[in-house]
A and B are shown apart, each in its own frame.
Chain A
Amino acid sequence: MGNPILIAENLSIAFGGVTALDSINLSIGEGEILCLAGENGSGKSTFVKIVSGVYAPSAGSVAIDGGRVDSQGPRAAISAGVQVIYQDLSLFDHLSVAENIAMNRMMHDGSKLVKRSTMRTIAAEQLARVGVELPLDDRVSTLSVANKQLVAIARALSMDARILFMDEPTTALTTNEVKRLLKIVLELKSRGLSIVFISHKLDEVFAIADRITIFRDGHKVGDFTAAELDEESLSFHMTGRRVSYARYHRQIDDETPLLQVQGLGRTGNYQDVTFDLRNGDILGLTGLLGAGRTELALSLFGLNAPDSGRILIGGKPVSIRSPLQAMEHGIALVPEDRKTQGLFGAQSIRNNVSSNVIDSLLGRTRLIDRKAEQALAVATVHEMNVNNKNVDTLVQNLSGGNQQKVVIGKWIARHPTIFILDSPTVGIDIGSKQEIYDRIHALAASGIGVIVISDEPEEIIANCNRVLVMHEGAVLDRFEEADLRAPEFKDRLATIISDPEAHVKHATAALTTITPGDQR
Chain B
Amino acid sequence: MKTSPFRAVFNRRSTAMEKYLLAIIIGYIVIVALKNPLFFSVETLFDMLRSGSGVMILAIGVLIVLVSGGIDVSFTAIAVVSGYTSVKLMLALGIDNILFAFMVSIVVGCLLGAINALIIYRFNLPTLIVTLGTASAYHGLMATVLGTKSFPTGAMPQSLVNFGSTDLIVINSDTGRYGLTVFLPIVIAVLVLTWFILYRTMLGRQVFAVGSNEESASRLGINIFRTKLFVYAYSGALSGLMGIIYFSELKYVNPVSLVGTELMIIAAVVIGGAKLTGGEGTILGTILGIVVVQLFQSTLVFLGLGSSWNDLFFGAVLLISLGVMYYRQRIQDRKNLVFATA
Contact = CB atoms under 8 A, between A and B. Distances in A.
Given A92-B279, A114-B200, A298 B337 contact: yes
Interface stretch (A99-107, A202-210, A480-488): A99-107
A430 to B, nearest CB: 29
Interface stretch (B80-88, B119-127, B164-172, B217-225): B217-225
A57 to B, nearest CB: 20
Contacts of B202: 103, 106-107, 111-114
A519 interface: no
A295 B204 CA distance: 40
Contacts of A115: 200
Nearest to A89: B216
B280 A94 contact: yes
Nearest to A109: B202
Contacts of A86: 219
A49 to B, nearest CB: 11
B208 interface: yes
A508 interface: no
Contacts of B209: 92, 95, 103
Nearest to B220: A104
Interface string B189-227: 000000000011111111011011101110111100000
A233 interface: no
A154 to B, nearest CB: 14
A340 interface: yes
Contacts of B215: 90
Contact of A92 (B11, B200, B204, B213): B213
Contact of B219 (A90, A114, A298, A341): A90
Contacts of A341: 339-340
Nearest to B342: A340
A116 interface: yes
Contacts, number: 72
A13 to B, nearest CB: 19
Contacts of A94: 208, 211-212, 279-280
A103 B213 CA distance: 14
Interface residues of A, number: 31
Contacts of A112: 201-203
Contact of A114 (B11, B201, B222): B201
Interface in B113-160: none
A114 B195 CA distance: 12
B-side interface size class: 20 to 34
A314 to B, nearest CB: 27
B212 A304 contact: no
Given A103-B209, A104-B221, 11 more contacts: A92-B216, A92-B279, A93-B212, A93-B213, A95-B209, A95-B212, A107-B220, A112-B202, A304-B337, A341-B339, A341-B340
B16 to A, nearest CB: 14
Contacts of B339: 303, 341
A357 interface: no
A92 B67 CA distance: 13
Interface in B10-63: 11-12
A103 B209 CA distance: 9
A95 B281 CA distance: 12
Name the 6 nearest CB pairs between A and B, nearest first.
Answer: A90-B216, A94-B279, A92-B212, A94-B212, A92-B209, A90-B219
A75 B208 contact: no
Given A92-B216, A107-B221, A304-B337, A114 B279 contact: no
A91 interface: yes
A274 to B, nearest CB: 22
Given A74-B221, A93-B279, A295-B337, A113 B216 contact: no
A114 B337 contact: no
B23 to A, nearest CB: 24
A111 B213 CA distance: 21
Query: Which of B202, B211, B215 has the most A CB atoms < 10 Å from its CB?
Result: B202
A114 B199 contact: yes
Contacts of A113: 200-202
A91 B219 CA distance: 10
A249 B286 CA distance: 64
B230 to A, nearest CB: 13
Contacts of B200: 113-115
A211 B255 CA distance: 72
